[in-house]
Homo-oligomer: A and B are copies of this chain.
């Protein structure tokens, strides 16, 4: 097997391990919050690769008929207390993301965060969190040397495992939402952009 395929299998096994340890209760609460926001707005927050994962999820929520926005893009309307803010941040410490979550909190919007760290500043400002492991910004201080030697970081550097796990996990959440809303793939096609 080529090195690329070997690493791929190793990454996929890692993702599966990470997703299987997510608390079912946290997932259920997140899905409930999303369904409750069907008549209101959902705003996705996240930077870097977590931001791209958030946008990929936002695009599917749009296909499902949700009224969804992405922070940092042109059209980001004012939040209200009825709206849902979904945040993706492995470390839970990204400056701008935490700053925006705090403002959303002050407005009264609901905040659901996906993060590796339940004790992070982001987790503290959130109404609900879904812990997805893989982003070791905090524990790296302790075990960095050992893991560095093992080369583990070089096969999935920085937040790679977190980002990939959340990407797959949120696509499974989309499948669950389709199920609960009685929406089929053929319905998504109708809302898919036809000008790209």
Contact, CB under 8 Å: B8 / A169: yes
In the complex, A43 has a CB within 8 A of chain B: yes
In the complex, A141 has a CB within 8 A of chain B: no
Contact with B along A164-196 (1 / 0, CB 8 A): 100111011111101100001110111111111
Q: Given A19-B8, A95-B100, A100-B196, does the pair A158, B74 have CB atoms closer than 8 Å?
A: no
* A186 nearest in chain B by CB position: B148
Contact, CB under 8 Å: B75 / A179: no
Number of chain A residues close to chain B: CB under 8 A: 88
Q: Shortest beta-carbon distance, A28 to chain B, in Å?
A: 8
Q: Given A73-B73, A100-B96, A100-B195, does the pair A172, B59 have CB atoms closer than 8 Å?
A: no
Contact, CB under 8 Å: A148 / B184: yes
Main secondary structure of the interface of A (DSSP, over half): helix
In the complex, A37 has a CB within 8 A of chain B: no
The residue from B9, B77, B154 contacting A185, defined by CB atoms under 8 A apart: B154
* Chain B positions within 8 Å of A160 at CB level: 171, 174
The A139-171 residues at the B interface (CB cut-off 8 A) are 148, 153-158, 160, 163-164, 167-169, 171
Q: 25 A–B contact pairs at CB < 8 A?
A: A4-B27, A4-B172, A4-B173, A4-B176, A5-B172, A8-B168, A45-B195, A47-B196, A48-B59, A52-B53, A53-B56, A58-B75, A59-B74, A62-B75, A68-B75, A69-B75, A76-B193, A76-B196, A78-B192, A79-B194, A96-B99, A154-B175, A154-B179, A156-B171, A167-B167
